[in-house]
């Protein structure tokens, strides 16, 4: 099975009819409901499960999953990771990337100085930030053309116009 993309987790139960509370990593949060099946990591393996219904419930997302018929079955899924396959994601325009595409890329300056790897991404409101770990941790704004000059997913590289001392 291709590499899975984690999009959330089962955070708890909702009611007595098997509905689950869901913590979503998607933006906006309710977009997690657009994907079906979800893949739940159970007993070390990814298992597909169909999303029957879902909605916003206040500030929470709740979902009814196939074959999860009561509170006990939903409770058994608590803290289970939710993922999707990469092919379930909508196609992006040129020069647009999913965070999952950027994590793991080798980062170097335009002068060829290696800064490390993108280990995670952070949303700040103004712009997304690359967290790059190498000889030290660096927070580099993901500003295409100004800071990020090249992204080559196939080669696994990201080039930045960034002072390596910063």
Strands (DSSP E) along the chain, which ranges? 5-14, 19-24, 38-42, 45-49, 51-57, 60-65, 81-84, 106-109, 114-123, 128-133, 137-141, 148-152, 157-160
How many residues make up the chain in this entry? 166
Token code pair at residue 38: 């979800």
User: CATH 2.30.30.240 in the chain, residues?
Assistant: 99-160
What integer pLDDT is reported at residue 46 of this predicted model? 96
User: CATH 2.40.30.60 in the chain, residues?
Assistant: 5-88
99 phi, psi to nearest 5 deg: -55, -40
Q: How confident is the model at residue 1 (pLDDT cuts 50, 70, 90)?
A: very low
Which option is the CATH number for 5-88: 3.30.1370.60, 2.40.30.60, 3.30.360.10, 3.40.50.740? Answer: 2.40.30.60
Residue 124 pLDDT more than 90? no
pLDDT digits 0-9 by tens, 30-69: 999 999 999 999 988 999 999 999 999 988 999 999 999 9
**What is the DSSP secondary structure assignment for residue 155, as one 8-state letter?**
T
Cα four-point dihedral sign 79, 13, 67, 54: negative
Q: How confident is the model at residue 3 (pLDDT cuts 50, 70, 90)?
A: confident
Cβ(147)–Cβ(153) below 8 Å: no
Arithmetic mean of pLDDT, 100-124 = 94
**What is the DSSP secondary structure assignment for residue 65, as one 8-state letter?**
E
What integer pLDDT is reported at residue 149 of this predicted model? 96
Q: How confident is the model at residue 155 (pLDDT cuts 50, 70, 90)?
A: very high
User: Which class is domain 99-160?
Assistant: mainly beta
Residue 70 pLDDT more than 90? yes
Q: How confident is the model at residue 27 (pLDDT cuts 50, 70, 90)?
A: confident
Residue 77 pLDDT more than 60? yes
């Amino acid at each position: 099975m291709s590499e899975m993309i984690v999009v959330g987790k089962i955070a708890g139960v909702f009611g007595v009819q098997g509905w689950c509370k869901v913590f979503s990593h998607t933006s906006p949060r309710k977009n997690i409901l657009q994907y079906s099946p979800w893949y739940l990591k159970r007993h070390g393996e990814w298992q597909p499960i169909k999303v029957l219904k879902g909605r916003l419930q206040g500030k929470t997302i709740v979902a009814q999953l196939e074959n999860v018929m009561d509170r006990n079955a939903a409770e058994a899924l608590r803290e289970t990771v939710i993922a999707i396959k990469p092919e379930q994601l909508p196609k992006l325009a040129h020069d647009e990337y999913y965070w999952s595409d950027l994590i793991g890329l080798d980062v170097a300056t335009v002068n060829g100085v290696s800064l490390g790897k993108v280990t995670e991404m952070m949303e700040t409101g103004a712009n997304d930030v690359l967290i790059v770990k190498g000889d030290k941790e660096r927070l580099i704004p993901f500003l295409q053309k100004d800071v990020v000059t090249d992204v080559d997913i196939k080669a696994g590289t990201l080039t930045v116009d960034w002072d390596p001392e910063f």
